[in-house]
């Protein structure tokens, strides 16, 4: 019997006797009992109670004794009760019985402010600390099974001290999950976990109030309404929102130039917000504009060349324009011009780390440990990829495919050593993920990679090595201070994290992911996660406020807003539309304030800005998007070198017959590697290996041969 059948059969499945009765210890609003429900009197209600159910009279004495137990023992008994249940049907019967005994919340409490996010059903949670310093909880749901989960937690934690609520480890209550198979049932079974997180958030607030600590300033955020309107909260968010409604004359000017000169644009998600706003609006009038993560920028450029574009402008850091140039040459479009957006170098802290002598030492160590495969993050220069590939057979990866790449490599090549770099946080997070997999069941491991099991994961752990001295200067920000504030104020929100974030943020988001409340991956993975959660809310068509913590560069906001608005538009109909909002939170660090010199150039080692009380927003590289002194920088200074002014300058001066844009042209490597091959040729090979893997889900035979026999060509 499935869960929906069990819910429909609720009256006949109530299992006597109940071990414990849920109760409320503070007055709430009490409407008339819903049709078909069993009325239960709140402890503070003055109305006479209905006659008790005969099955419950028998359990009353045991219930009173249970109420006097410490919360930790109540949690243990609750877990033991569900652990002892023989099957999913029996667990469901117990949940439905508890749901029948849970008092209904009044309409005044069944509001969006009390909604528990991440549940398939609507779930509401109310909590406060009473005069005796104990937490008082009440909860409700429009799903009987979800009400059962709520009842379990209220029974276990109502009356507990705040510290006792925080001491509950979700693992202690794991037996409550797994009521039935299937995606929907698993999501419903995560209700208890999401409700527990909500209870713990309220307990933290109670402790702060008791200690006299004021509520912390919220992170800045943007709220997108059903009508597409934007509400900015905080100076940082106001600066981001400024360019979401771009100047129409600038759009017309850009589109006219692109059409006349057949110019395509590939841009990264992390662009300056002014540029993002203009590009997002312009691509409705000119199809050859593509905004994405670094993975598909070069592929998009090839498609534009195939469609007749004679020039490609690249809005990103230099390794991106190098990749575009090299891939176009590989595809036979060497006459298509490729232009960067600055006459100065547009660097990247990760690319710099991979070109260091320390990284060369890391690779030389790998070359002495055959068979070895070097998995290099795509955010590195073509020259680095070429030199690395001659030392150790190399394949590129992105944050969205790195785990699959490494697991397939271990599955395909016996006794392999994998060397990942240069992002140290991503390397540590991959190792952390594999450690988690090592304690999963074989079935759970197989869901991640079909040829692996618990034993094979344990075997590969000592063979995974990662570089420990490279990081993205933006994602480095998502560390201890930011994580503490997220735990305090946003633990019940949807958490998104790029694979490049420090371990604290990674672990927090991975925990959220287990209950359907988080995602860890690439920028595209984050965007898809937000869109999917919004689609679910739109399909439900119930008033909702979806709050997402953006654990990556703030430049993504333009693409997020555009995607959210498109979804809202696509769901417009004659029927009544629910009031649904999407809030994007920028978790910016209070000590990550950027500086500008007199001439406006950015210096990573600049001294801290002084006299901040007189400044509301510290300007960024060329625009005003900057960093709020109330938060900090979730903004890459290198990416912000791609200004609208530079883009228009390049477009207006094409075709460059007088060679005035020489400094803006993407590098074409004519240099040779230590083994005498062209850098462009060898540097492209790891990228092509990745493309083969993405298409076939296997490492190419040529790469496998290189790993086992060295970098010579395979014999026929």
Decide: 680 and 668 in contact? Cβ < 8 Å.
Answer: yes
**123 vs 146: CA distance, rounded Å:** 7
Residue 338's beta-bridge partner residues?
312
Sign of CA dihedral 656, 660, 664, 665: positive
Helix pair 248-261, 644-653: axis angle to 10 deg: 30
DSSP run (H or E) holding 222: strand 221-224
**695 vs 683: CA distance, rounded Å:** 20
Question: What is the DSSP secondary structure assignment for residue 564, as one 8-state letter?
Answer: H
- 122-158: string of b/e by CB count within 10 Å (b at 16+)? bbbbbbebeeeebbbbbbbbebbbbbbbbbbbbbbbb
Distances (CA, A) of 675 to 24, 387, 435, 671, 682: 76, 9, 39, 11, 10
| φ/ψ (deg, to 5) at 92 | -65, -40
What are the start-end ranges of the H helices in 541-678? 557-570, 644-653
Residue 618's beta-bridge partner residues?
627
The answer to whether 627 is a known catalytic residue is no
Residues sharing a CB contact under 8 Å with residue 157, sequence separation 6 or more, in sequence order = 71, 74, 75, 135, 137, 164, 165, 168, 199
DSSP run (H or E) holding 359: helix 357-367
What are the start-end ranges of the H helices in 211-338? 235-241, 248-261, 273-282, 297-306, 318-330
Of 300, 446, 401, 390, residue with least CA distance to 693: 401
Q: How many C-beta atoms surround the C-beta of residue 334 within 10 A?
A: 10
Catalytic residue among 119, 309, 633, 636: 119
Sign of CA dihedral 636, 637, 643, 647: negative
The alpha carbon of residue 611 and the mean position of all alpha carbons in its chain are separated, in whole angstroms, by: 35
**651 vs 661: CA distance, rounded Å:** 10
E-strand stretches of 320-406: 337-339, 372-377, 394-397
Decide: 102 and 139 in contact? Cβ < 8 Å.
Answer: yes
Decide: 469 and 353 in contact? Cβ < 8 Å.
Answer: yes
Location of structure tokens 């841009």: 267
**560 vs 555: CA distance, rounded Å:** 9
Write out the two tokens for 105: 């919340």
Residue 464's beta-bridge partner residues?
418
**236 vs 238: CA distance, rounded Å:** 5
Catalytic residue positions? 119
């Amino acid at each position: 019997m499935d869960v929906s059948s069990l819910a429909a059969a609720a009256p006949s499945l109530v299992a006597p006797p109940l071990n414990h009765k849920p109760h409320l210890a503070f007055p709430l609003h009490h409407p008339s009992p819903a049709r078909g429900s069993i009325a239960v009197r709140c402890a503070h209600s003055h109305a006479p109670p209905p006659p008790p159910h005969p099955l419950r009279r028998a359990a009353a004495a045991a219930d009173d004794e249970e109420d006097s137990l410490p919360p930790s023992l109540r949690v243990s008994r609750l877990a033991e009760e569900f652990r002892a249940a023989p099957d999913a049907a029996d667990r469901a019967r117990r949940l439905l019985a508890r749901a029948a005994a849970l008092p209904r919340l009044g309409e005044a409490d069944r509001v969006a402010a009390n909604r528990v996010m991440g549940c398939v059903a609507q779930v509401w949670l109310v909590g406060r600390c009473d005069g005796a310093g104990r937490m008082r909880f009440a909860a409700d749901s429009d799903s009987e099974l979800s009400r059962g989960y709520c009842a379990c937690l209220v029974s276990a934690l109502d009356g507990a001290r705040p510290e006792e609520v925080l001491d509950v480890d979700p693992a202690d209550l794991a037996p409550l999950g797994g009521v039935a198979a299937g995606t929907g049932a698993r999501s419903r079974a995560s209700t208890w976990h999401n409700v527990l997180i909500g209870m713990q958030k309220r307990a933290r607030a109670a402790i702060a109030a008791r200690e006299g600590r004021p509520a912390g300033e919220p992170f800045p955020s943007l709220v997108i309404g059903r009508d597409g309107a934007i509400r900015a909260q905080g100076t940082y968010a106001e600066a981001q929102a400024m360019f979401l409604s771009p100047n129409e004359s600038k759009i017309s000017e850009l589109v006219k130039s692109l059409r006349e000169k057949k110019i395509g644009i590939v841009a990264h998600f992390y662009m300056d917000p002014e540029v993002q706003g203009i590009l997002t609006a312009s691509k409705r009038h000119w199809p050859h504009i593509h905004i994405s993560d670094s993975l598909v920028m070069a592929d998009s450029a090839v498609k534009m060349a195939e469609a007749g574009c004679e020039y490609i402008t690249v809005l990103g850091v230099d390794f991106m324009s190098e990749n575009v140039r090299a891939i176009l040459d590989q595809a036979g479009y060497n006459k298509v011009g490729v232009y960067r957006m600055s006459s100065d170098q547009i660097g990247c802290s990760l690319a710099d780390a991979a070109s260091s002598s320390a990284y060369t030492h890391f690779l030389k160590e790998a070359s002495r440990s055959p068979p070895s495969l070097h998995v290099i993050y795509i955010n590195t220069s073509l020259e680095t990829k070429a030199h690395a590939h001659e030392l150790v057979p190399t394949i590129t990866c992105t944050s969205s495919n790195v785990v699959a790449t490494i697991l397939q490599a271990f599955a395909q090549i016996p006794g392999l050593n994998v060397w990942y770099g240069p992002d140290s946080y991503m390397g540590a997070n991959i190792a952390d993920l594999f450690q988690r997999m090592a304690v999963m069941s074989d079935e759970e491991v197989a869901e991640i990679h079909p040829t692996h099991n618990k034993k094979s994961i344990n075997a590969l752990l000592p063979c995974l090595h990662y570089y420990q001295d490279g990081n993205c200067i933006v994602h480095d920000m998502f560390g201890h201070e930011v994580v503490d504030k997220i735990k305090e104020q946003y633990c019940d929100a949807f958490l998104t994290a790029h694979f490049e974030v420090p371990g604290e943020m990674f672990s927090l988001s991975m925990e959220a992911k287990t209950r359907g409340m988080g995602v860890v991956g690439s920028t595209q993975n984050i965007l898809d996660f937000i869109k999917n959660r919004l689609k679910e809310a739109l399909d439900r068509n119930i008033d909702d406020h979806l709050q997402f913590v953006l654990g990556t560069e703030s430049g993504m906001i333009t693409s997020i807003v555009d995607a959210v608005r498109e979804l809202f538009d696509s769901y417009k109909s004659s029927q009544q539309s629910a009031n649904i909002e999407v809030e994007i939170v920028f978790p910016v660090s209070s000590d990550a304030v950027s500086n500008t010199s007199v001439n406006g150039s950015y210096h990573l080692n600049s001294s801290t800005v002084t006299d901040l009380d007189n400044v509301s927003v510290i300007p960024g590289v060329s625009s005003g998007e900057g960093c709020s002194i109330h938060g900090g920088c979730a903004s890459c200074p290198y990416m912000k070198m791609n200004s609208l002014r530079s883009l228009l300058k390049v477009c207006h001066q094409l075709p460059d017959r007088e060679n005035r844009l020489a400094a803006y042209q993407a590098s074409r490597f004519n240099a040779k590697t230590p083994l005498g091959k062209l850098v462009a040729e060898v540097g492209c090979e790891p990228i092509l290996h990745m493309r083969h893997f993405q298409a076939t889900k296997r490492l190419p035979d040529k790469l496998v041969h290189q790993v086992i026999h060295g970098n010579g060509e395979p014999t026929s």
